[in-house]
Amino acid sequence: MLDKYKEESQKISVPARLKAETLIKMEEAKRKKQLYLGFKVAFATLSILVVAVVSFQWMQPSYIKTKLADNKVVDEVELEDGTLTYEEIDSLKVFGGGITTKREISEEMATAYIDLQSFSFTDYTLAETKFYGNYKGLDLSFVEVQQMFKNKNKRIEIRCQYGNRNITTNSKIGKHNIFVSYNQNKGKIEYNVYFKEGDLIYALTMNELTQKESIDIITQFLKKFS
């Protein structure tokens, strides 16, 4: 009996109008879907491009330097006779590499600096001291505190750097192994002293000081680490 059901059901047909209408609606829905997908892809591509362009520009050294040059801290440095020009400060990088105009100061360095301010070094007056601010956000390992004691051309510079660089030692003050180099350039005498403390490498550059004066300053400085 139920076999006849199939036979009867086969006679049922879908109205042609319904088929045609449905087909039109399907095509329309398909177009809308493709349009939506197209927009999505275009938007994603555009977003990626914008991010890429901005990142690329931001990572350019020239862009960074421009930003640094615009920095107020740098602009405020007074370049009087006898002090260093911006270019000279930059050229004084002891360990090379990196940008030297903005610095992050380590806690020890800050403490040492405060102590050196009260250091009784009769012939020298503290003429100018400049910290170049924090440098976070850019992946530079170089950190530095620079101090300039000015009396004519005499100055002391203290810098430090993070890193694994090995220091060759040729002298010792207290428990500290240090490396001392001596330069004489156009009659000017310069002492360079390097030592390592933890992850930091410190460098002291002393111009126009006697050996005794230099050793006094280094000893005073090293006391902070003993």
Q: To the nearest whole angstrom, how small is the minimum distance from the Cβ of residue 42 to another protein?
A: 19
Q: To the nearest whole angstrom, how small is the minimum distance from the Cβ of residue 21 to another protein?
A: 7
Q: To the nearest whole angstrom, how small is the minimum distance from the Cβ of residue 14 to another protein?
A: 4
Q: To the nearest whole angstrom, how small is the minimum distance from the Cβ of residue 25 to another protein?
A: 6
Residue number, 18 or 125, with CB nearest to another protein: 18
Q: To the nearest whole angstrom, how small is the minimum distance from the Cβ of residue 48 to another protein?
A: 23
Residue number, 27 or 199, with CB nearest to another protein: 27
Residue number, 41 or 69, with CB nearest to another protein: 41
Q: To the nearest whole angstrom, how small is the minimum distance from the Cβ of residue 46 to another protein?
A: 23
Integer Rg of the chain from CA: 35
Residue number, 30 or 223, with CB nearest to another protein: 30
Count the residues in the chain: 226
Q: To the nearest whole angstrom, how small is the minimum distance from the Cβ of residue 105 to another protein?
A: 57
The residue ranges that bind another protein (CB under 8 A) are: 1-6, 8-9, 11-15, 18-19, 21-23, 25-27, 29-30, 33
The span from the CA of 42 to the CA of 50, in Å, is: 12
Residue number, 19 or 65, with CB nearest to another protein: 19
Residue number, 19 or 223, with CB nearest to another protein: 19
The span from the CA of 147 to the CA of 149, in Å, is: 7
Residue number, 16 or 184, with CB nearest to another protein: 16
- In the block, which residue shows the tokens 């300039």? 148
The span from the CA of 160 to the CA of 163, in Å, is: 10
| End-to-end C-alpha distance for the chain, whole angstroms | 107
